[in-house]
Structure 1
Amino acid sequence: MFFGVLTILSSLFNFSPTPPQVPLIPWHEASVFQLPTQGDEKVDMIMKKYLQGLESRNISLNQQGIWMQTHWATLADNRGTIPAPAASLTKVATTLVALDKWSMDHRFLTKFYITGSINDGVLEGDLIVEAGGNPFFVWEDAITLAHEIEKLGIETVAGNLVIVGDWRMNFRENNRASGDDLRRAFDGESWNYTVETQYQTMENPPPRPKLVIQGKNIFLDGLLAQSRLLYTHSSQSLTEILKAMNIYSNNFIAEHLAQQMGGGEKLGAIASKLSNVPPAEIQLINGSGLGVDNRISPRAACRMLIAIEQKIKPHNLTIADLFPVSGIDEGTIQDRKIPHGIAVKTGSLAVVSALSGAIDTEERETVYFAIINYANGLDDLRNRQDELLIDLSHHWQIKPILPHSAH
């Protein structure tokens, strides 16, 4: 009876009661096992040469961390799981957690409101700006914004400039100084040399604004009841902001983002979970890396880069969309001798020189590395890090890591 039913079903739905045979691949021939899963004697020799060079300077190797790995093998390890002052490698954690909190194309919104009516170009009331967490609002944004407000029929504000929330502009920590900058940017007649210079460098700049605010700067915690939305300014995308943060190792952007994500301690806890390393390997007090109390192990730095790649890969992005690439980008790597096409993040404090990144190789696919030096003589330490990467480039055939826009 049962087999009769199966026969009827198979005739109706072209269903075979016997599943087709799936060709079996011996486990050791599967593609995943074609990648090397063992260490590399040559890489070990390169690391030992590097450490011997440090030792020749009487630098204690107990304070020098190195970790190098692929997805399948650990290639180098010297105190690689010991957390150490990591300086701006902290921004790798900030990048990872930001990508977890917001979407890739997230934009921070700065909203402008008005009170009163607009008559013959005069706003008979206040112009209100509500901070929206944009860590990258600069002169160019304010100048463009002033032009948009003028296009909406406002040439003069008879009332006050009301600033609501934690307003930050031009990487200033001070709320009131940021308010002064906004007012200055709106009126071309009040520009100083700095604003004029930025205006001259703008691509397709708008007409020089002449938006005059007659009242004072007022700071409030919340919107006025009679506020009416006038205009919404969108920031650059999150990925663009993170790339700028990492290229120039901008502490303000990193810390402003970290504060919106709960602060350094929470940032470290989330980064630890996302990168699957023990919490002890990521100990943070802020999102920028300022201060020796930010401690990250070299292994954790590599694992965070891997976690970042896993997040962005479905969006057809590469790590080069978020971090500077040697030979392509400027910023903190422009004077380094890092081989062409390696994506990196630098870190420096008074006695800390750190470097972490990814190398795309023919032989090992992507190799992740992190070096954290704790010693005097930062220029010499940087040169030795670069020489280590040069030696690796002679060992492997390196393929440049390019941003999505270059593909």
Structure 2
Amino acid sequence: MDRIFKTTPFRRACNLRVLTNGQTLYRVASFGLMAWLVAASAHAANPAAPAEKTKAVNTLNFPGGPSQVPPDLQRALSEILSDSSLRGARVSFMAQMVDTGQVLASYNPDKLINPASNVKLITAAAALRILKPEYRYRTRYYAWGPIIDGVLKGHLVVKGFGDPTVVTERLKKVASGLANMGIKKITGQVVIDDSFFDGVREASGWETEEAPERAYAAPVGALSLNYNAVSVLLRPDDLGKPALMQVEPPAEYVTLEGKVMTNRWGRRLQVMTRAGPDTTLMQVGGTIRPRSKPLRIFRRVYDPGLYYGSALTGFLQIHGVEMRHDVVRGRLPASARLLYVDRSLTLGEVINTLNKYSNNFMAETLIKTIGADQSGAPGTFDSGLAAVRYFLENEIGYEPGSYKLGNGSGLNHVNLFSSHHMVKLLSHLYKDFEIGSEFVTSLGIAGTQGTIAFRMRHTAAERRLRAKTGTLRGVSALSGYVVDPKERVIAFSIMAQGFSGRTSNMWKIQNAIGEALATDGASWIMAHGDEEGVQTTKSAGRARGSVR
């Protein structure tokens, strides 16, 4: 649910900015770039909070004293956290040496804050511990009936186990593989078995989403395609004529309604999806300018299983398999014969995508996968979250009742954690030989990769800070690791909620903290000299003033 800078190729999902020049969903899938899923939620969250362990005091503390925290770093952190952009906000900050456990600095470390997408750190850690980094999802394809002279006299059954990474390219490869087995005709139906998960498709908190058709709020299913989003490609025609529209991937399950006119005063577009009987209705309207580049807009679907089966049917037909479009939901019969198994990348690689691009759909799918693994199918949100809580309390050491975990993605208002919680998790994972390397490498890298690819560029923190972002309306968080000048790893977390200004002001504060930790405060002192109270939300070269 993190906002990505407009200048990146990972465009904001909330605006669903588009790919142009004929780029296709297939290219998006092949590069693993899911901009249209990176969530930019419209809500600030104020859930009922668990009782805080101690009454938080708005004081920045340096438990290690000057021997552990250089004076320049103390001054830098003090001034940064005095920024007027934080006035009236709930703020929690903590930085700790990973090797010794020495707390360098803390500011309301036990204050409970909505962590937004920082919750994905918890989901990723639990998934790696419970499922293991080498875990792979499998999707199985069966023949329910004999195959005689290339004719499947019966049904094609697809059994899903929750793979969140199937994209158009992979499904086309499956269709090609089945056709290359000599199947020329299927007389029966495509039977979708998605019973590995229960029928609840939206996690807690998603019901309050203001734009529920957005791709970042796609439903969860045991059979899913393209992160359960579909796109419409719009190309302008001559002035006064309807624009050309094409649904991708081509699936009869999606019904396109409306039209977009080519108008010199464009572009005012409305693209919405809603559930229909056995279909997702995509409603399009508005105008587009004659010389506009082709636009691709993504929206969620409403029945992942039927969407999957419909697209598979189309791809089989493209590969020459004679069959009718007839997709039904059912259960795998004992008499069906296994034809083909499609395997995902390892869980370690899936987690890399989850955290670098903050994919809500992947996070919630992992919760149900954990639930199925620990409690048996069908996987549910409740069983998955129960297993994650057990992991947090029995391995990481969280006190029961000291936090609130309502979903695995961080969307909206159902989670509460403190910076202390986050640092405790980060420190533990860094030292875990079995899963630590996969966890650490999954985080965004300052200035180069993920949701912080365009932050802290050309600073001392570039490539030396790895972190996960979290963004909702009025909520901003950054938690991860940074290396100091002595090559010591620091786990840190900074979370703010209830600020009234722009989220970009919070990013600048977070960036300044990251740079200060990476330089023992030298970056701040060099930028601001002996003058104190410089606002982080102004450029270092121009800003001078007093702390308010």
Letter in 1 for 2:506: L
**3-state DSSP of counterpart to 2:92:** strand
Shift of 1:371: 0.6
| Residues 1:289 and 2:410 are matched in the alignment | yes
Shift of 1:211: 4.0
Number of paired residues?
340
Matches within 5 A, 1:317-336: 317=437, 319-330=439-450, 332-336=451-455
Asked whether the 8 Å contact 2:72–2:522 carries over to 1, the reply is no
| Residues 1:275 and 2:393 are matched in the alignment | no
C-alpha separation between the residues in 2 aligned to 1:240 and 1:161?
30
C-alpha separation between the residues in 2 aligned to 1:274 and 1:160?
47
Shift of 1:107: 0.2
Match of 1:226 in 2: 335
**3-state DSSP of counterpart to 2:110:** coil
Match of 1:390 in 2: 515
C-alpha separation between the residues in 2 aligned to 1:397 and 1:115?
69
Letter in 1 for 2:314: D
**3-state DSSP of counterpart to 2:82:** helix
Matches within 5 A, 1:3-402: 38-53=68-83, 56-57=84-85, 59-60=87-88, 63-71=90-98, 72=100, 73-165=102-194, 166-172=222-228, 176-188=303-315, 209-220=319-330, 222-261=331-370, 262-311=383-432, 313-314=433-434, 317=437, 319-330=439-450, 332-337=451-456, 339-341=461-463, 342-363=465-486, 365-374=488-497, 375-376=499-500, 377-395=502-520
C-alpha separation between the residues in 2 aligned to 1:182 and 1:41?
63
Q: 1:209 to 1:41 in 2, by over 3 A?
A: farther
**3-state DSSP of counterpart to 2:445:** coil
Shift of 1:127: 0.7
Asked whether the 8 Å contact 2:138–2:344 carries over to 1, the reply is yes
Q: 1:163 to 1:258 in 2, by over 3 A?
A: same
**Structure with higher RCO (Cα < 8 A, 6+ apart):** 2
Alpha-carbon RMSD across the aligned residues, in angstroms, is 2.6
Letter in 2 for 1:171: Y
C-alpha separation between the residues in 1 aligned to 2:75 and 2:314?
62
Shift of 1:266: 4.3
Shift of 1:263: 3.5
Asked whether the 8 Å contact 2:223–2:304 carries over to 1, the reply is no
Asked whether the 8 Å contact 1:269–1:282 carries over to 2, the reply is no
| Larger helix proportion of the pair | 1
Residues 39-73 of structure 1: CA deviation (Å, up to 9, x unaligned): 444333222111111xx236225x11101001321
**3-state DSSP of counterpart to 1:303:** helix
Shift of 1:392: 2.6
C-alpha separation between the residues in 2 aligned to 1:234 and 1:101?
19
Shift of 1:318: 5.5
Letter in 1 for 2:454: D
Residues 251-300 of structure 1: CA deviation (Å, up to 9, x unaligned): 00001111232233542342233222323443110000012220111111
Asked whether the 8 Å contact 1:265–1:283 carries over to 2, the reply is no
C-alpha separation between the residues in 1 aligned to 2:140 and 2:67?
53
Shift of 1:125: 1.1
Letter in 2 for 1:352: V
Q: 1:154 to 1:38 in 2, by over 3 A?
A: same
Q: Which runs of 4+ in 1 moved over 4 A?
A: none
Q: 1:355 to 1:118 in 2, by over 3 A?
A: same
Shift of 1:189: 8.8
Shift of 1:315: 6.6
Residues 295-341 of structure 1: CA deviation (Å, up to 9, x unaligned): 11111112212232233x347835442222123313x2233226311
Shift of 1:162: 0.5
C-alpha separation between the residues in 1 aligned to 2:481 and 2:308?
39
**3-state DSSP of counterpart to 2:395:** helix
Residues 6-42 of structure 1: CA deviation (Å, up to 9, x unaligned): xxxxxxxxxxxxxxxxxxxxxxxxxxxxxx9844443
Asked whether the 8 Å contact 2:129–2:435 carries over to 1, the reply is no
C-alpha separation between the residues in 2 aligned to 1:279 and 1:44?
33
Gaps of 5+ in 2: 1-65, 195-221, 229-299, 371-382, 524-548
- Rg larger for: 1
C-alpha separation between the residues in 1 aligned to 2:401 and 2:128?
22
C-alpha separation between the residues in 2 aligned to 1:227 and 1:157?
14
Letter in 1 for 2:138: L
Asked whether the 8 Å contact 1:337–1:386 carries over to 2, the reply is yes
Gaps of 5+ in 1: 1-35, 191-207, 399-407
C-alpha separation between the residues in 2 aligned to 1:143 and 1:287?
30
Asked whether the 8 Å contact 2:444–2:453 carries over to 1, the reply is no
Q: 1:116 to 1:168 in 2, by over 3 A?
A: same
Asked whether the 8 Å contact 1:281–1:300 carries over to 2, the reply is no
Q: 1:189 to 1:216 in 2, by over 3 A?
A: closer
Shift of 1:108: 1.0
TM-score of the superposed pair, with normalisation by structure 2: 0.58
Asked whether the 8 Å contact 2:484–2:519 carries over to 1, the reply is no
**3-state DSSP of counterpart to 1:392:** helix
C-alpha separation between the residues in 2 aligned to 1:326 and 1:141?
31
What percent identity do the matched residue pairs reach? 24
